[in-house]
Amino acid sequence: MLEGASDLTFREIVGLPSIPLQLILYFLVFLAFNFFYISFPVHAAIGLDWSLSEVGLFFSVMGVLMVLVQGPVLKRMAVVWSERTLIAGGSLALAVSFLFFMSEDTTHIYAGTVLLACGNGLMWPSLTAVISKATDPRHQGAVQGLASSVGAVASIVGLLAGGLLYGVLESRVFVLSFAITLLAVVMSFSVRTQETDPLS
């Protein structure tokens, strides 16, 4: 007969080692990305005068790049680099990518898309993996559930606030995404994993 895991309270989950930091990283990255996600289509239509098809092509390219990075690219990188390194490096690439979207040059914008796909594709699965390993296997569901809730809250806040902020800051809202993600980069160096970092 299988013994089920006892339910963890919110206080017990956030009391687990390194979990609060990882949840904060979850929140910050979701927040920054959703500032971009809600603002860029408006910026493309108003600031860049892109057509609907150009906006659709942009997000299609982004989607394909993310699939490629999270598939074969991440698989090869994970052999060489630790999860902590992938989180820090991916977050840095993601942060820098937001600055490219302030440009009116299409080449620069697509260069930013490549950086965004690489950063998100390397960082996000690695952060999820670290959270899944941060507690007893019996409690992983509770921890992942709370992380998903934190991400959902950040998405809601990011979409609402991002739209309002674009009306005030216009393309400068991407600097805010950069700053928030850069904060996540700094915090990511404190992330503890259950593996040995090959670079340390």
Given a cut of 80, whether residue 17 has pLDDT beyond it is no
Question: In terms of Cα–Cα distance, which of 117, 122, 116 is closest to 82?
Answer: 122
Domain map of the chain by residue range?
28-188
Most confident range (mean pLDDT) of 6-20, 61-75, 134-148 is 61-75
C-alpha 12: how far from chain center: 25
Q: What percent of the chain has pLDDT over 70?
A: 90
Q: To which residue do tokens 């910050």 refer?
A: 28
Residues in Cβ contact with 133 at an 8 Å cutoff, skipping those fewer than 6 apart: 193, 194
Q: Is the pLDDT of residue 187 over 80?
A: yes
Q: Which of 16-20, 151-155, 191-195 has the lowest mean pLDDT?
A: 191-195
Burial code of 31-43, b = ≥16 C-beta within 10 A, e = fewer?
A: bbbbbbbbbbbbb
What is the C-alpha separation between 85 and 108, in angstroms, rounded? Answer: 26
pLDDT digits 0-9 by tens, 74-110: 989 988 898 889 999 999 999 999 999 999 999 999 9
Could you tell me which CATH number the domain at 28-188 has? 1.20.1250.20
Confidence bin at 193 (pLDDT 50/70/90): low
Q: What's residue 189's pLDDT?
A: 85
Q: What's the pLDDT score for residue 190?
A: 80
Determine how many CB atoms are found less than 10 A away from the CB of residue 52: 10
Give the long-range contacts of residues 44-53, CB within 8 A, separation 24 or more.
Answer: 47/104, 47/170, 47/171, 48/104, 48/109
Angle at CA 70, nearest 5°, toward 64 and 73? Answer: 100
CA distance 100 to 36: 12
